[in-house]
A and B are shown apart, each in its own frame.
Chain A
Amino acid sequence: MSIHIDAEKCTGCGSCEPVCPFGAIEVVDDVAQIKDNCNVCGACQDACDFDAIVIERPAEEDAGDDNSQGVWVFAEQRNGQIKGVVYELLNKGRELADAVNTELCAVCLGHNVEGVEQLGKYGADKVYLFDDPMLAQFEDDIYTQCMVDLIRERKPRMMITGATALGRAFIPRVAAIIETGLTADCTGLDIDKETGLLLQTRPTFGGNIMATIVCRTKRPQMSTVRPHVFKKGTPEPGRKAEIIRMILDGKPTDSRVKLLEFIEDVTEKIKVEDADIIVSGGRGLGKPENFKVVEELAEQLGAAVGASRAAVDEGWIPYSHQVGQTGKTVCPKLYIACGISGAVQHLAGMQTSDTIVAINEDPNAPIFEVATYGIVGDIFEIVPMLTAKIKESRG
C-alpha cells in the first residue's frame, strides 16, 4: 500500500493538513508532502477537493472470499479451572460468530480441566481439547506449538484471547509465527457490515484516544481482551458443544522456561478484579497512612481496595491494587473513588462499573464526568462520615 501526492493536481490549499490524525501531511512550497509517520488512513484523501492524493492499495481478498471459518476463543485455565474471562469472551464470540454466520469454538489446553462442558452452555459449538499432563501448567513452547498447528490446520477467521499475564505473553508468539495481526486490549469488537471484517476498538495513548483497528488480509484476525471488559452471558443448560480431543503428537515435549516455585499474592484481602464493590483511593489521600479511611470504608462494605496510578507510583499501596489502563480493568456493581481526579488512564479501567460514586474536593475533576453520583468535598470528612453511617445502618 502506498500514498503519494499528484503534484499537478495539488493546489497547496492545505485542507488536508488539519484532518490528518497523525500530523503526517504538511504543505511545503504549495504542495502537500507526506511525512514518515503517515499511516495511510485516507483521512486526507477524503478532505482533498482536487483528487490530488493517490492511495494505491494492493488487490485484497475480501473477507467473504477467504476460506477461514469460525470464531475461536482461547479457553485459558489455571490449575484445571477455566478462567472467568473465557465466559466473557464466549458471550462476545457468540455474537461475532452469528454476525458472520460461522461457528464458535473454544480451544482448551490443560490436564483434567474441570467444566469443559460449561463452554458449550456458554455458547461454544465446538471445543478443541488438548488434555495431557504436559499441559497442566503453562508451558510456553508447547502451548505455542499446539495453537499454531491447530490454527494452520483448521484456519479460524478470528481468535480472541483474554489479556491475562499468560495471554499477553503467549498469543503474540503465536501471531508472530502465523504472521497475522494481533490487536491488544480491545474494549470493543464488532463486525463491519460491508466487509465482514472484525472491527477491533482499543484505547491507545494511555486511554486518551480510541482506535478502531482492522486486519484486512491475514487470518485469523486476532485480538486480546482484558478481563471484565465484556459481560459474561447466561448459560443455556441443555446446550452442548462437540468436544474434539486433540493429541500432542510430534509436539515438543520439553519447555525451555521451567517453573520452580509459585508465590501467591496475599496482600489483598479481596482481589479488585473479582470484587462486587471497590473503594479506591488516589493522590488526594496525600500520604500512605491516609489509605486507612479508604480501607475502613471498604471493610464496612465488604469491598476490595483499589488505587489510582498516582497512589501506586507514590508507593502508598502495591501495584496489584492499581485500577486503570496500566493496571487492572474492573467492572464492579459499585465503584467509590476517593480523592481520585480521574485521569483518562484511570477511567479506562473502571468507567464501565455499574454505579460510580466520586468524592473529590475539586468540582472540576474529570472523575465527576463518569460518576453516577458526585460529592464535592473533603474526603477526610465525607468518607469517615459515610463509613460511620453505613455501620450505624447495619447496627
Chain B
Amino acid sequence: MNIVVCIKQVPSTTEVKINSETNTLVREGVESIINPFDTYAIEEGVRLKERFGGKVTILTMGPPQADIALKECIEVGADEGILVSDRAFAGSDTLATSYVLSKAIEKIGDYDLVISGKQTMDGDTGQVGPGIAQRLGIPFVAYVSRVDDISDGKMKAERMIDEGHEVVEAPVPCVMSVSKEINVPRLPSLRGKMKAKSAQLTVWSAQDLGIEDNKVGLAGSPTFVMQIFSPKRERQSEMLEGSSAEQVSALCDKLSEMKVV
C-alpha cells in the first residue's frame, strides 16, 4: 500500500509574539519544527505500512530548508521525502496550497491513502486536507482516531465528531486527517537516523508539476492578510486579598452576588 503523508514545517508557535512597539513578529529564537499534529499522521502512515506493507512518502511544500523536516520523517520510518518548493508558491493560502499538493500527489501517481494532521499549529485551519481530497476527486475522512482495517479497496475507521465517535467505511484511495488520539509517535531509531543521513530527497518546482501560475502564490490565493495585531485583553481584574479563608469568603460573596451560589 502506498501512503502519502502531507506535512508542514512550522515555527514552534508558543514563542511567536508581536513586539508591541514596532507591531512586528518577534522571530528570534523561533526554531522550525514539524507541525506537531502531523507527527501523528507520519506515525500512522508508518504503522499502516508495517501492517499492510508498502511505502510511506512524505510530501511537504515550503522553502528549501524544509528538507530538514523530511529527513526527520525518514528517521521515524518514512521511506521517501518530496519537497515541493518554488518562489512562485510564496504567499499561497489554503486553496492554493491544496492545489499544489494535489498536483504533487497526482505526479506521485500510485497512491492508496493520503494522510494529514488535523490542522497546523501556525495557521490552525484544517482546510488543506479536505481541499486536497476535493481536487483529487476522492473522499475525505476527518479526525480519524483509529484505523480498523484496509482491505478490498475499503478503509474502515473511527472518526471523531462533536457528539462522540463514528465508525465509517470509505473507499481507497481517500484522504484522511488524523486526531491526536490515534497513536503515540515513536522516537527516531538509530537505523532511521542513518537512513535519513544518506537519504536522497526529491525536489519539485512549479514547472515540474505543470502548475498554472495564476493558481498559486498570491495570485492564486483569494484570501489576503490585511492586518495583524496582538490579542487585546480588556477585562478589569480584581485580585482578592487576605488569608486563604478571607479570599475564599470574598469570592463566595462575589459568586452569590452573581446568584451562582
Q: Which of A6-14, A110-118, A285-293, A379-387 contacts B (4 or more CB under 8 A)?
A: A379-387
Residue B164 at the A interface, CB < 8 A?
yes
Q: Which of A124-132, A150-158, A231-239, A251-259 contacts B (4 or more CB under 8 A)?
A: A251-259
Is the CB–CB distance between B166 and A210 below 8 Å? no
Known: A165-B162, A213-B223. A185 touches B124 (CB 8 A): yes
Residue A168 at the B interface, CB < 8 A?
yes
Q: Which of A15-23, A67-75, A100-108 contacts B (4 or more CB under 8 A)?
A: A15-23
C-alpha gap A256/B219 in the complex (Å): 33
Known: A175-B127, A259-B168, A374-B237. A39 touches B218 (CB 8 A): yes
C-alpha gap A307/B165 in the complex (Å): 20
Q: B228 contacts which of A37, A140, A209, A216 (Cβ < 8 Å)? A: A209
Give the residues in chain B near A257, CB-CB below 8 Å.
139-141, 168-170, 174
For this complex, into which size category does the number of interface residues on chain A fall?
35 or more
Is the CB–CB distance between A40 and B237 below 8 Å? no
List which A157-198 residues lie within 8 A (CB) of chain B: 164-166, 168-170, 172-173, 175-177, 179-185
Is the CB–CB distance between A373 and B251 below 8 Å? yes
Is the CB–CB distance between B133 and A173 below 8 Å? yes
Is the CB–CB distance between B239 and A260 below 8 Å? no
Residue B130 at the A interface, CB < 8 A?
yes
Q: Is the interface of A mostly helix, strand, loop or mixed?
A: mixed
List which B89-143 residues lie within 8 A (CB) of chain A: 90-91, 93-95, 98, 119, 121-131, 133-135, 139-143
Give the residues in chain A near B171, CB-CB below 8 Å.
256
Give the residues in chain A near B23, CB-CB below 8 Å.
19, 21
Known: A180-B222, A373-B238, A373-B251. A21 touches B258 (CB 8 A): no
Residue B147 at the A interface, CB < 8 A?
no
Known: A181-B93, A374-B238. A20 touches B130 (CB 8 A): no
Is the CB–CB distance between A36 and B90 below 8 Å? yes
Give the residues in chain B near A215, CB-CB below 8 Å.
222-224
Is the CB–CB distance between A389 and B249 below 8 Å? yes
Is the CB–CB distance between B223 and A182 below 8 Å? yes
Q: Which of A91-99, A200-208, A241-249 contacts B (4 or more CB under 8 A)?
A: A200-208
Residue B193 at the A interface, CB < 8 A?
no
Number of chain B residues close to chain A: CB under 8 A: 90
Q: Which of B42-50, B68-76, B202-210, B240-248 contacts A (4 or more CB under 8 A)?
A: B240-248
Q: B87 contacts which of A21, A36, A213 (Cβ < 8 Å)? A: A36
Give the residues in chain B near A372, CB-CB below 8 Å.
235-238
Which B-chain residue is minimally distant from A167 (CB atoms)? B162
Is the CB–CB distance between A18 and B22 below 8 Å? yes
Is the CB–CB distance between B237 and A369 below 8 Å? yes
Is the CB–CB distance between A262 and B166 below 8 Å? yes
Give the residues in chain A near B166, CB-CB below 8 Å.
259-263
Taking the nearest CB of chain B, how far is it from the CB of A256, in angstroms?
4
Give the residues in chain A near B143, CB-CB below 8 Å.
165, 169
Is the CB–CB distance between A1 and B219 below 8 Å? yes
Is the CB–CB distance between A20 and B251 below 8 Å? no
Interface string of B27-41 (1 = CB under 8 A from A): 100000000000000
Give the residues in chain A near B133, CB-CB below 8 Å.
173
Residue B167 at the A interface, CB < 8 A?
yes
C-alpha gap A351/B249 in the complex (Å): 24
Is the CB–CB distance between B226 and A261 below 8 Å? no
Q: B123 contacts which of A204, A277, A382 (Cβ < 8 Å)? A: A204
Is the CB–CB distance between B240 and A374 below 8 Å? yes
**Most chain B CB inside 10 Å of its own CB: which residue of A165, A181, A262, A369:** A165
Is the CB–CB distance between A334 and B25 below 8 Å? no
Is the CB–CB distance between B125 and A210 below 8 Å? no
Give the residues in chain A near B187, CB-CB below 8 Å.
none
Residue A325 at the B interface, CB < 8 A?
yes
Is the CB–CB distance between B231 and A207 below 8 Å? yes
Q: Return the 9 tightest CB-CB contacts between A and B, nearest first.
A: A181-B222, A169-B142, A181-B223, A184-B125, A172-B130, A265-B164, A176-B134, A218-B222, A261-B167
Cross-chain pairs A/B with CB under 8 angstroms, 13 sampled:
A21-B18, A22-B25, A23-B27, A182-B94, A184-B94, A208-B16, A209-B17, A210-B230, A265-B165, A372-B237, A377-B247, A386-B248, A389-B252
Q: A176-B134, A213-B224 are in contact. List 8 more A-B contacts (CB 8 A).
A: A37-B90, A40-B218, A179-B95, A181-B93, A184-B124, A273-B162, A374-B237, A374-B240
